[in-house]
Chains A and B, each alone.
Chain A
Amino acid sequence: GEDVEQSLFLSVREGDSSVINCTYTDSSSTYLYWYKQEPGAGLQLLTYIFSNMDMKQDQRLTVLLNKKDKHLSLRIADTQTGDSAIYFCAETSPSGGSQGNLIFGKGTKLSVKP
């Protein structure tokens, strides 16, 4: 079945870069997503990448996809205290077992120290 794995915690200093990693198992994954969740809030769609791309950049965010290794990463440049949150990696595959539904990782808690 489909599985998405993430490390559970990451701690960085303000101003440094953060890199959050994710691996997935479904080779038919079509889209891969990064969501941010602040305490008590809903999920905010940060960015997503189509499986035929290997990189996407959006302001401070850079997504890298290694399809061969089924590895996705999210780099946050110049990390700020407001970036402290849980980051969920998710994948979807309309033709795969997930039937187009999101398969989430367990989430990575990013802590940013001043």
Chain B
Amino acid sequence: DTEVTQTPKHLVMGMTNKKSLKCEQHMGHRAMYWYKQKAKKPPELMFVYSYEKLSINESVPSRFSPECPNSSLLNLHLHALQPEDSALYLCASSFSKGSEQYFGPGTRLTVT
């Protein structure tokens, strides 16, 4: 089983809303990732968690706040987003940082 699940599939939010994206894997992977993907572009790395600790924050604005409650779950809390934050948000996991990554189906986010 190489499944990474993400909820919700679609999300529309206003610029004053607070929402959360969720990601889950049960493969025993100890590294989890958030990526942002704009149309017709490759994914851009946002955050990396390794053994539930934030390992990399690629200079992401503070309106994006990641959280890793346990080794199977990864959240991305959203607050006061801008329309330009509209994108596909992808979660991925890997056995360890640097090994092959498995991606979830993504959350399509629209900020109005």
Contact = CB atoms under 8 A, between A and B. Distances in A.
Interface of A: 30-31, 33, 35, 40-45, 48, 88, 92, 94, 99-102, 104-107
A48 B100 contact: yes
B7 interface: no
A101 B103 contact: no
Contact of B42 (A92, A101, A105): A105
Q: Chain B's interface: helix, strand, loop or mixed, by majority? A: loop
B48 A101 contact: yes
A102 B102 contact: no
Q: Chain A's interface: helix, strand, loop or mixed, by majority? A: loop
Closest 5 CB pairs of A and B: A100-B98, A104-B42, A94-B98, A43-B103, A42-B103
B87 interface: no
Interface of B: 2, 4, 6, 40-43, 45, 48, 56, 90, 92, 97-106, 108
A25 B48 CA distance: 23
A44 B99 CA distance: 15
A41 B42 contact: no
A67 to B, nearest CB: 19
Nearest to B91: A42
Contact of B100 (A31, A88, A99, A104): A31
A40 B101 contact: no
Contacts of A99: 56
B105 A41 contact: yes
Instruction: Identify the interface centre among B41, B98, B108: most chain A CB within 10 Å of its CB.
Output: B98
Contacts of A104: 42-43
Given A92-B98, A101-B56, A106 B103 contact: no
Contacts of B45: 101-102
Instruction: Identify the interface centre among A31, A40, A101, A107: most chain B CB within 10 Å of its CB.
Output: A101
A107 B4 CA distance: 22
A35 B106 CA distance: 15
